[in-house]
Structure 1
Amino acid sequence: MVIDLSVRRLFCDARDCARRTFTEQIEGLSTRYGRRTPRLQDLLRVIALALAGRAGTRLATMLHTTVSRVTLLNLIMALPEPAVTAPRILGVDDFATKRGRVYGTVLIDGESHRPIDLLPDREADTLATWLANHPGGEVICRDRASTYADGARARAPDAIQVADRWHLWNNLATAVERTVIAHRPCLHETDPQASARAAAAAPAELNPDTGGEKWVVTRTRERYLAVQRLLARGWTISAIGRELGLARHTAGRYARCENLHGLTDRTIRTTRLDDYKPYLIQRWNDGCTDAARLFREIRARGYPGRTPQAVRRYLRPLRTVAGPVPAPPPVPKPHRVAHWIMRHPDRLHADEESRLKDIMARCPQLNAVHRHVRAFAQMLCNLQGENLTVWIDAVRADDLPVLHSFAANLHNDRDAITAGLTQVWSSGPTEGQVNRIKMLKRQMYGRAGFALLRKRVLLT
């Protein structure tokens, strides 16, 4: 449709007027120097805010409007920013603009769940400056990071800091899994058949030529002792790795290990082959003893290994056993046992509950962990933060080094954690905004910067 519009051309008679002639504008239809009508301009702004550049261009093309992605981004940048006011309940969390490299901070209103500002980094000074310019916050909901705690303490000392409950539960889950890993021998059933299998597999840790310990076991023990010795002197993980010629994650694994037996004893290690061992025993008893053939069969069943070496090592001690070999009972993975401990008892299946009871009966430490987890869950769900000190003392009374570290971290941030276990406020709405920022960021590939992302977050 083409509109043939006639308008008046106006002249100014004043001699000192710089504009001698101009064209009459029609309200709602035309603007000075405008290439589009105000209605079309508003439509393109809505498209730009919803879809940003290239996606917005494709939608505009379907609406018979030709526009470039840069034009849509410029429409966003031309919009005025909303007024920033300090909310009574402030939610703080970080988000990644370039994962692992560049991070920002999102601030939301804890009552309306609306974002109120985005900060270009996640430094304590940046948050402190924002709080100094926007005083009046009464509650600050944050995660367990010390950066935001320091920034809030510097410029809003009277505000109540509330540690998020989900992060507390997640940190506890990590501590529980590390404790289960430290007690992996307890996951194995101590029945006579299991003992026979362990005895048959024990020669795999010895050198068949000399009868002594394998060099891998010796090296593992020496590395563990060296890392623990340097760790006791106060060395960092990076410095230990450089000193011993180890990768940082390898040095960290030796530093976090609390059970050397779990590193050197192959019979209690969890491997990718564990799920396929019952099938290998069944085929072995059927008469198939070719390791290469068995490797091809389990590869067809989903085994991720690329070489048959692990299969050969597992079958080697079986060649000295006369008669059929009993199938090993399934050994649960440590992360699965930790999941059973962390899950609500009413949501456990009957077999999971039975296996968990057997494990706790064999291991008093895991039984104590299960008891502490239940107490913490009761405190978290019922908002009984006044019981936090009692819970920390109960954990310290048991021989659970990993939980001791978790309890020490709770004690160092006791006020915020007590408030998190007492107040109804949490960082849940802030996490929702972080997920929304991730979605908006994915749409803004190209050279779109932080300022554009900030405009979209605050205006949508």
Structure 2
Amino acid sequence: MAIDDFAFRKGSNYGTLICDLNTHQPIDLLPNRTKASVTDWLTMHSEVVLVIRDGSNIYRAGIDAVNRPMVRIMDRFHLIQILYRWMLTSLQRFLPHQWSYILNLSNPPNQTETESKAEELQEIKIDMKPNQQKKWELIQVIKKQHQTGQSIRSLAKAHHLSRNTVKKYIELKEPPTNKRKRRSTLLNGYINLIIIGIENNLSSHQIFEQIKQQGYKGSYRFSQFLYKDLQPILASIYYTYSNGVIEGQINRLKTIKRTLYGRASFELLRKRVLYHM
């Protein structure tokens, strides 16, 4: 069987859809997405010998709580998504610091780079997104109108902005950016140790053990994820099953929900989803 969730109301209430991997048809619909409901359903259906799921911790815990041997598989698509997110997180944490460290050694800033920065500011309009470009054009209009003698109060009224916003726009000398400040993390105090470990070709686990000895309180979360889901991950490589079947049925479920205009009870929705022509 395959198991996945769907939204009654996105971000609020979720249910669970269960499909037969052989017939590609839905076999049950659960009104919630909890560990207990998954465990109870599997306990009542002892004929289930293989389960494929996404990376949900709820479904993993519910399936693992069933006290009988079953083949547990993690869907390859979701596995690749998780690996991709972890890779991006690692790159964002380590590589910017590593590259800035290397560049500072090999390419110290020179006068030519400083002079070219002014030219880049002139061309920054080309690289801006449409909404940023529109905002920058409005700022230019407000600045020109203020230079002609219009007061901040009249400009605020004309452009439906607060006086503080108009004042801020007038004082701007370059396009505003939406870059957020980097949040401080537990790793901030160990960046130099991590860079040294990378330069010495240490593995991520060896680097983790080193910074842990220096007082790092964080966890080696990715290794924990691999350890907890090792058997389902290996099974996803061995078996050819995927969650594609249930993803298609969830699309069908969404279509049925739309035809009911949000006025149907769960029981009616369940009957409509489980009905086979």
What's the TM-score bracket when you normalise by the shorter of the two chains?
0.5 to 0.7
Gaps of 5+ in 1: 1-89, 202-276, 285-293, 316-361, 369-392
**Match for residue 312 of structure 1 among 173, 196, 202:** 173
Secondary structure of the 1:122 match is coil
Structure 2: any 5+ residue segments left out of the alignment?
Answer: 140-168, 177-194, 212-217
Distance change in 2, residues 1:406/1:282 (3 Å): closer
CA contact (8 A) 1:131 1:156 kept: no
Partner of 2:238: 422
- 1:104 paired with 2:15, answer yes
Aligned-residue offset at 1:160: 1.4
- Give the deviation of 1:298 after TM superposition: 5.3
Q: Kindly provide the amino acid, as one letter, of the partner of residue 250 in structure 2.
A: V
1:302 paired with 2:147, answer no
| Aligned counterpart in structure 2 of residue 406 of structure 1, from 216, 219, 222 | 222
| Deviation of the 1:98 alpha carbon | 0.6
Q: Contact (CA 8 Å) 1:140, 1:161: kept in 2 or not?
A: yes
| Identity score, percent | 27
In structure 2, how many angstroms separate the alpha carbons of the residues matched to 1:106 and 1:93?
6
144 and 178 in structure 1: CA distance in 2 versus 1, 3 angstrom threshold: same
Distance 2:243 2:251 in 1: 13
**Counterpart residue type for residue 140 of structure 1:** V
Letter in 1 for 2:38: L
The residue number in structure 2 matching 1:95 is 6
Once the two structures are TM-superposed, the CA of residue 106 in structure 1 deviates from its matched residue by 0.4
Whether 1:114 and 2:114 are equivalent positions in the alignment is no
**Residue identity opposite 2:110 in structure 1:** A
Residue 109 of structure 2: which of 178, 187, 195 is its match? 195
Cross-structure match for 1:432: 248
1:156–1:109 CA distance, 2 compared to 1 (3 A): farther
> Which structure carries more relative contact order (alpha carbon 8 Å, separation 6+)?
2
The one-letter amino acid paired with 2:2 is G
Q: Which residue number in structure 1 is paired with residue 119 of structure 2?
A: 281
What letter matches 1:184 in structure 2?
Answer: P
CA contact (8 A) 1:395 1:407 kept: no
TM-score, length-scaled by structure 2: 0.62
Partner residue of 2:205 out of 384, 396, 404: 396
The correspondence for 1:184, drawn from 67, 81, 96, is 96
Q: Is the Cα–Cα contact under 8 Å of residues 186 and 363 in structure 1 kept in the other structure? A: no
Relative distance call for 1:449 and 1:364 in structure 2 (3 A) is farther
- In the other structure, the counterpart of 1:457 is 273
DSSP 3-state at the match of 1:136: coil
- Given that 1:135 and 1:156 are in contact with CA atoms closer than 8 Å, whether structure 2 keeps it comes out as no
Paired residue secondary structure (1:421):
helix
Which amino acid in the other structure matches residue 152 of structure 1?
A: I
| CA shift digits 1:159-214 (9 cap, x unpaired) | 1111122222111111111122122245679498872379859xxxxxxxxxxxxx
TM-score for the superposition, normalised by structure 1: 0.39
CA distance in 1, matches of 2:130, 2:30: 46
Matches for 1:225-240 after TM superposition, within 5 Å: none
Larger radius of gyration: 1
Structure 1 residues 363 and 447: alpha-carbon distance in aligned structure 2, compared to 1, 3 A threshold? farther
Equivalent positions of 1:133-152 (< 5 A) are 133-152=44-63
Give the aligned length: 214
Q: Distance in 1 between matches of 2:98 and 2:111?
A: 16
